[in-house]
Structure 1
């Protein structure tokens, strides 16, 4: 075999694994991908934000750059080639508009590429079908039941006083709070997947105004924090909600989230999040704020 052949390229591997049903998207598919994402702005916030940042559905930079896969729909007269479903494939895998059958094809494509990923997440039915099709067994955990919740209007309850955007000079304290939340939530350190990338991500959130905190006036410790992990003109997705253990049990979570929603609605008409169903106190707090259920996510952690 020569050193390179079409069958050894990512496109060739994907085509062979899926019988030609899945293809790698190009810049020419950008408009069609936007149209597909617009069908579910709450469920697709993270991919829509990534596409907004990249500006194209084409391949990312480098050998391990993120790519977008797609399955074509039947063409409609007078329109560009439409997409029936798509899938973000980078350090995370996120199916878009996929039913179980198309998610299975994306799982076969991902398996053929043999890339390391941190997680698979998104709408539950598609995620679980995709994961099963990969045949991967090196996962840490499957969180199959994660309510996806959304708000369209300001909360009726009073927000937690003092919640504000964090400042660049507060980076060290914000990083410590973020790392504590991550480790508590996932059971391993965020630095396991690259300390510099994790810190860059936190700096980016702070500089974008997407990191929110409340600080105790006496101890100067962060008592509450949350971030807007993904932001588009149509929706923002909240992540990293955390109450400092020293201040838990004081009813801060719901009013803290009320403040977060108020900030989020300045950026987009929808504020969403997803949460583990077994975290009953968090689910109830979000419901008190006014969040409504909008389906179910699943996450597979590696």
Structure 2
């Protein structure tokens, strides 16, 4: 994947690559973008959280600031209700895109020449978008990841002792998060920037979105998870991990029940996505009460 180049504006690159079908959203598109995001709350929670935090659909500041792309229902270059959108930052996330519009976003991403760490979201859109980019330096394509949601209380007894992690526990939480990341993705989280990764973990702890269970004797973290994206409507869980020394003791499902219980205090729906081959995790989530809500896909770079 080539690097971003400042030799031409994003708008002119997009116009040439997509025959004017895709444009960069502006602050004037914020309301229409929120309406689009609300059509699929579980799938769009990451982008929804980011846009609400920013308060606008306007592109981010700086050369590498995240931007939002859009395609209008009427095909016009300005105005009109948005038919679909696409977040382009360190990750690419299509929003409400069918296969045809996803291909246009893939052409747009290729033209923008930005380095990203992943493409993820609803599977059909992600896979069409990725194919259209023509990028060949990816690490892995995870084409089937069940998206799962729960809106009621857990169906099993939650694990006692699951609580918010504390800032003084940062070193232990960081080790657990890094271990989970490397085990799950096959490479170190520090490959994409150690300072950014540590800042992300600190931010989760300070926000109360990092949850742990700690063994009272060894003080080791036995179970952990995070709320990776938080809105008033949906919480998305990420980073579920059981310490290898405590695996096989039935912590995963009760631990997740405790996480769901806390998540439902913040929003009426809790969601997550999981690799299709991780049947043990899927069974644990189903025991808690999660139900499938379609399929995600992730392309890792």
TM-score (norm 2): 0.96
Contact 1:7–1:13 (CA under 8 A) maintained in structure 2: no
* CA distance in 2 between partners of 1:127 and 1:156 (Å): 32
Partner-residue secondary structure (3-state), 1:8:
coil
Decide whether the 8 Å contact of 1:15 with 1:22 is kept in 2: yes
* Partner residue in 2 for 1:59: 59
Aligned equivalent of 1:27? 27
* Match in the other structure for 1:257: 256
Structure 2 CA distance for aligned equivalents of residues 15 and 301 of structure 1: 27
CA contact (8 A) 2:29 2:57 kept: yes
Deviations 1:15-37 (A, max 9, x none): 10000000000000000000000
The verdict on how the C-alpha distance between 1:182 and 1:7 changes in structure 2, with shifts beyond 3 A counting, is: closer
Residues 165-210 of structure 1, C-alpha deviations (whole Å, 9 max, x = no match): 0011110100000000000000000000000000000000000000
The CA RMSD measured in Å over matched residues stands at 1.1
Structure 1 CA distance, aligned partners of 2:247 and 2:74? 53
Residue of structure 2 equivalent to 1:39: 39
User: What is the aligned partner in structure 1 of residue 203 from structure 2?
Assistant: 204
Write the distance in 1 (CA, Å) between the matches of 2:185 and 2:135.
20
Secondary structure of the structure 2 residue equivalent to 1:220? coil
Determine the structure 1 residue equivalent to 2:229. 230
Instruction: Give the unaligned 5+ runs of structure 1.
Output: 1-5
Q: Deviations over 1:105-131 (max 9, x none)?
A: 000000001110000000000000000
Match in the other structure for 2:100: 101
Between the aligned partners of 2:181 and 2:8, the Cα distance in structure 1 is 37
Tell me which residue corresponds to 1:243: 242
- Asked whether the 8 Å contact 1:88–1:95 carries over to 2, the reply is yes
Confirm or deny that 1:141 pairs with 2:177.
no
Taking the aligned partners of 2:170 and 2:52, their CA distance within structure 1 comes to 26
User: How many angstroms does 1:8 deviate by?
Assistant: 1.6
The corresponding residue for 2:176 is 177
Name the SS of the counterpart of 2:60 in structure 1. coil
The answer as to whether partners of 2:158 and 2:254 remain within 8 angstroms in 1 is yes
For 1:143 and 1:7, the matched residues in 2 are separated by 34
Q: Counterparts of 2:134 and 2:155 in 1: how far apart (Å)?
A: 46
User: TM-score of the superposition, structure 1-length normalised?
Assistant: 0.96
Is the contact made by 2:155 and 2:287 (CA closer than 8 Å) also made in structure 1? no
Q: C-alpha separation between the residues in 1 aligned to 2:183 and 2:236?
A: 20
**5+ residue gaps, structure 2:** 1-5
User: In structure 2, what is the Cα distance between the partners aligned to 1:272 and 1:156?
Assistant: 15
Which residue of 2 is the match for residue 283 of structure 1?
A: 282
Task: Please give the alpha-carbon distance, in whole angstroms, between the structure 2 residues aligned to 1:73 and 1:228.
Answer: 33
Q: In structure 1, what is the equivalent of residue 217 of structure 2? A: 218
1:62 match: secondary structure: coil
| Preserved contact between residue 22 and residue 71 of structure 1 (Cα < 8 Å) | yes
1:74 is displaced (CA, Å) by: 3.2
Report SS of the residue matched to 1:120. Answer: strand
